Structure 1
Amino acid sequence: MFQKLNTEYSILKISLLVAILFTISISGYSQTGVGVKPIKGAKLMLDGTEKMLHKNWKYWEGPRFSSSMPIKWPSATDPIDGGPVISSNDPAGAGGKYGAADIVTKKEYRDFRAHVEFLVKEPGGNSGVYLQNRYEIQILDGDNTNHGMAAIINEQIPTSDEYNGTGKWNAYDINFKAARFENGVLTEKARVTIYFNGVKIHEDQPIQQVWGGPNSGMDGGNDGGKGITDRPGGLKLQAEGHDVYYRNIWIKELNLDGKSTDF
């Protein structure tokens, strides 16, 4: 009898553990994808209104910068629900002139969790999300290469195609760990985990360098983009003369010392 009770107790413990792990898994999954609200401790950086755009963002004044404050990213109407959105179609970025009118958060970060929602209005729409104003997660309709949609640009293609297509909302959920240094020497590359529309597409991937030269972001002109420095940077959105709409962008600062970026 005692052995039977002990066995039943062990089975109950295992069942409870499985249930807890399943709940944790579902909870984490439910915090990714289109429409999720900011998690505890996160700050909403863009709700689609001009007020929040001008409060939390500024132009990145890199070597190709050719606009002036205030930010000239136009407001627009969400084609799906009629709410406010901000378009990346700044006149200074026309013709794919990246770096001429890119916007970056006024606050700078090291490790962080970010949520970014975007809608590509027309085929071929092009923009990008830059982590620490260095590392680009591409937004490019119609391209599935390592320079295309959801790629860690020029380095890693996503493990699956989760893009919803033009005229629909998409969401990147990103855990980012900044590069580590000791006495000014790089000891660990930056790393990132990304969910795209609720599906994991990059898991704890190292990021090798900044691509695109000095007009792309911080350290782009240092040793061909390999000269990463130990400076925090903002979350940046790219203007290339396309109507890529943004809304529901939020960020939470993290400390990932000794930790993976997986979540």
Structure 2
Amino acid sequence: MRIYSITSLFFVLSIGFISQVQAQVGVGTKPLKDAEVYFDGSEKMLHEKWTYWKGPRLAASLPIKWKVVKDPAGNGTAMNSNDPSAAGGKYGAADIVTKKEFRDFRAHVEFYITKAGGNSGVYLQNRYEIQVLDGDTTSHGMAALINETPSPYHAYNGVGKWNSYDIVFRAARFKDGKLVEKPMATLYFNGKKVHTNHSISQVWGGPNSGIDGGNDGGKGITDKPGGLKLQAEGHDVLYRNIWIKELDLKEPNTDF
């Protein structure tokens, strides 16, 4: 009979735990227990759980015009963010947002850029953008918490392949109406941890970008919850396998 020391057993258990956690990120990751699926590839779910964001530049009208198309690299379907109302890159004209609003959460989103230069974006709480932009390696580029972090472009799978964001987000905290703790996020990009417990200073992009974008140049963050938003920029960027698990993070820690 093989006998393990306490140290060896702890190491084995630790490796098992790490493997289990790592298996919960990356392309194809299935929803966690108690998570809610927000896009399963069906038009029914698209129209039931999403709506257009009613920002100042809204030019689209319901029903949502994002088309459900065949998955170009799989057996299922995906939604195409190329809404005709956003032609020419008019962000905010036809962005879609979950009808449900959130504070703290864990989210999984997969995207596929069909052509070089493809542009979209994933917005946390309809405020803070995680960029989706092929070819840009700057702080405004792929997988950057926009204008807040460098782009971890090295983790990008490239055009014509599925990519994934796994996110834990903690909303800003207020006391007596004043901001006391900044919002914070941890991000895995295609299974690689690229941002850890990164605090976010403001909303970028102005009033057409998201909630509070027009408040004090984006610095006037409020306590209003917000949905997960996907940006229409007039490009063929596809999305699939979107799910969210609500959290209640007592401490300012989003690492996972």
**TM-score, scaled to structure 2:** 0.97
Residues 235-246 of structure 1 aligned to structure 2 (within 5 Å): 235-246=228-239
Count of matched residue positions in the alignment of Structure 1 and Structure 2: 254
The alpha-carbon distance between structure 1 residues 45 and 260, as it changes in their structure 2 partners (threshold 3 A), is: same
Q: Percent identity?
A: 63
SS of the residue corresponding to residue 5 of structure 2 reads helix
How far apart are 1:261 and its partner, in Å?
0.2
| Aligned residues of 1:160 and 1:201 also touching (Cα < 8 A) | no
Distance 1:149 1:119 in 2: 12
Report the counterpart of residue 186 of structure 1 in structure 2: 179
Distance 2:37 2:84 in 1: 26
Residues 80-91 of structure 1 aligned to structure 2 (within 5 Å): 80-91=73-84
Listed as ranges, the gaps of 5+ residues in structure 2 are none
Residues 1-263 of structure 1 aligned to structure 2 (within 5 Å): 12-159=5-152, 161-263=154-256
How far apart are 1:160 and its partner, in Å?
5.7
Distance 1:71 1:175 in 2: 27
Runs of 4+ residues over 6 Å off in structure 1? none
How far apart are 1:82 and its partner, in Å?
3.9
How far apart are 1:47 and its partner, in Å?
1.3
Distance 2:185 2:122 in 1: 13
Distance 1:13 1:259 in 2: 33
Task: Give RMSD over aligned pairs.
Answer: 1.1
Distance 2:152 2:121 in 1: 19
| Aligned residues of 2:96 and 2:230 also touching (Cα < 8 A) | yes
SS of the residue corresponding to residue 45 of structure 1 reads strand
Distance 2:135 2:111 in 1: 15
| Aligned residues of 1:158 and 1:202 also touching (Cα < 8 A) | no
Report the counterpart of residue 6 of structure 1 in structure 2: none
Distance 1:38 1:62 in 2: 30
SS of the residue corresponding to residue 127 of structure 1 reads strand
**TM-score, scaled to structure 1:** 0.94
Deviations, residues 151-209 of structure 1 (Å, cap 9, x unaligned): 00011014561110111000000000000101111001000000000000000000010
| Aligned residues of 2:144 and 2:152 also touching (Cα < 8 A) | no
Distance 1:154 1:65 in 2: 24
Listed as ranges, the gaps of 5+ residues in structure 1 are 1-8
2:15 is aligned with what amino acid? Answer: F
Distance 1:81 1:196 in 2: 20
The alpha-carbon distance between structure 1 residues 73 and 159, as it changes in their structure 2 partners (threshold 3 A), is: closer
The alpha-carbon distance between structure 1 residues 160 and 68, as it changes in their structure 2 partners (threshold 3 A), is: closer
| Aligned residues of 2:172 and 2:184 also touching (Cα < 8 A) | yes
SS of the residue corresponding to residue 161 of structure 1 reads helix
